[in-house]
Amino acid sequence: MRKFNSSLSGYNKAEVNSFVSEVTKEYESMLAKLKKQDEDILKLKEELEKYKNMENTLNRAIMVAEDASNQIKKVARDEAKGLIDDARRNASRIVNDALLKADKVEQDAELLKRRVVIFKRRLRSVVDEQVEFIESINEDY
């Protein structure tokens, strides 16, 4: 605390005025500094609000992206399941067609075997007749 010299009519006016002037300047300086700090605080609050809005926007975008990703995965799984089901149906159809063709080939082979047996019998019969004819020719001469 500052002490003032006394004079006849009280304290020395020049000292008191000088002190009041110093206090006023210091007060104005502090007031300007506080005003500047208040402005800085206001700017920082505005920036903070802007960043909070950006954060909210990013969080919503992330949630939308996650939802889209989940939907894409679901669609892909459903499509894959459909493809697998189609492949199974096609495989069953192909196997059934192959079995039918195999049965037909087997029937054709059986028919061919029977025809070969019949042909052999007829051929043997013809050959036997020819042999008999040849032998009958030998007997006549």
To the nearest whole percent, how much of the chain has pLDDT over 90? 77
Q: With H, G, I as helix, E, B as strand and everything else as coil, classify residue 1.
A: coil
- Does residue 3 or residue 27 have the better pLDDT? 27
Expressed as residue numbers, the domain containing 119 is 6-140
> What pLDDT score was predicted for residue 136?
85
Q: Is residue 34 part of a domain?
A: yes
118-135 pLDDT, tens digit per residue, is: 999 999 999 999 988 888
**Number of structural domains in the chain:** 1
How many Å apart are CA 62 and CA 73, to the nearest integer? 16
Q: Is residue 78 part of a domain?
A: yes
Q: pLDDT-derived band of residue 17, with 50, 70 and 90 as boundaries?
A: confident
Residues whose CB falls within 8 Å of the CB of residue 16, separated by 6 or more in sequence, listed in order: 4
Q: What tokens does 17 get? A: 């005025």
> What pLDDT score was predicted for residue 85?
95
Q: Is residue 1 part of a domain?
A: no
